[in-house]
Amino acid sequence: MIQIPRINSAKADALSILASSKGSELFKLVPIKHLTKLSIDVVTEVKWIEETLTWIEPILTFLKDQTIPSNRKEARKVRRRTTHFCCLTTSSANEATPCPSLGTWAARR
């Protein structure tokens, strides 16, 4: 590891202070260049290749449709985990929102 002397990091310090404050005296010390056009190319469109399931997807499908995975181990895991969730449906869309169950927290409080 090499320690950089403070005199060599003065510009970096000034830029960090300038970025975090407005109307500073540093505007006179640090030249600011205003760009009229983009300095980078426009990002091209990215296409979705593969959709992976999140951890909540099997739980949501079980709560909404009562369907479980074909693997016995996964099905058991989903059944056990769904006891901790409830399913709230919105009237405007056919989407379900999972909400964690608070269990007996209110009773213990």
Which residues lie below 8 Å from residue 58, measured CB to CB, with a gap of 6+?
68, 69, 74, 78
The tens digit of pLDDT for each residue in 41-72 reads 777 787 877 777 788 888 888 888 888 889 99
Q: Are 26 and 14 in contact (CB under 8 A)?
A: yes
| Whole-prediction pTM | 0.41
The tens digit of pLDDT for each residue in 7-19 reads 778 877 777 777 7
Taking the C-alpha atoms of residue 109 and residue 107, their distance in angstroms, rounded to an integer, is: 5
Q: What is the Rg, in whole angstroms, of the alpha carbon atoms belonging to the chain?
A: 27
